[in-house]
Amino acid sequence: MEFKSRLKEYQELVNQELEKYIRKQKCPEEIWNSSMEYSLMAGGKRLRPILVIATYQLFKNNIEICMPYAVAIEMVHNFSLIHDDMPCVDNDDFRHGKLTNHKKYNEATALLAGDGLLNNAYIVISQDLQNTKTKDITKKIQIFTEFSQAIDRMIAGEYIDTEYEGKKISEEYLEYIHKNKTGALLTLCVRMGAILADCEKEDLESLTKYAEKIGLAFQIKDDILSEEGNEKVLGKPVGNDKKMGKCTYVSKYGLQKAKDILSQITKEAIDEISKYGEKAEFLKELALYIQNRNK
Site residues for its own copies per CB under 8 A = 28-29, 31-32, 79, 83, 86, 88-89, 106-109, 111-112, 114-116, 118-120, 122-123, 126-127, 129-130, 134, 137, 141-142, 144-145, 147-149, 151-152, 155-156, 158-160, 162-163, 173, 176
Residue with Cβ nearer its own copies (22 or 123): 123
Q: How far is the CB of 9 from its own copies (least distance, A)?
A: 31
Residue with Cβ nearer its own copies (1 or 108): 108
Residue with Cβ nearer its own copies (146 or 271): 146
Residue with Cβ nearer its own copies (83 or 191): 83
What are 120's strand-pairing partners? none
Q: How far is the CB of 95 from its own copies (least distance, A)?
A: 17
Q: How far is the CB of 233 from its own copies (least distance, A)?
A: 28
CA 176 to chain CA centroid, nearest Å: 17
Q: How far is CA 12 from CA 7, 212, 290, in A?
A: 9, 26, 19
CA 205 to chain CA centroid, nearest Å: 20
Q: Who's near 179: CB < 8 A, 6+ residues apart?
A: 153, 157, 212, 215, 216
Q: Who's near 131: CB < 8 A, 6+ residues apart?
A: none
Q: How far is the CB of 204 from its own copies (least distance, A)?
A: 18
Report yes or no: 207 and 190 within 8 Å, Cβ to Cβ.
Answer: yes
Residue with Cβ nearer its own copies (50 or 154): 154
Q: How far is the CB of 236 from its own copies (least distance, A)?
A: 19
How far apart, in whole angstroms, are the C-alpha atoms of residue 143 and residue 273? Answer: 22
Residue with Cβ nearer its own copies (150 or 283): 150
Q: Who's near 49: CB < 8 A, 6+ residues apart?
A: 14, 17, 70, 71, 73, 74, 189
Report yes or no: 60 and 197 within 8 Å, Cβ to Cβ.
Answer: yes
Q: How far is the CB of 187 from its own copies (least distance, A)?
A: 17
Q: How far is the CB of 135 from its own copies (least distance, A)?
A: 11
| Helix extents (H) in 57-196 | 67-85, 101-104, 107-130, 137-163, 171-177, 184-196
What angle do helix axes 184-196 and 47-56 make, rounded to 10 degrees? 30
Residue with Cβ nearer its own copies (39 or 109): 109
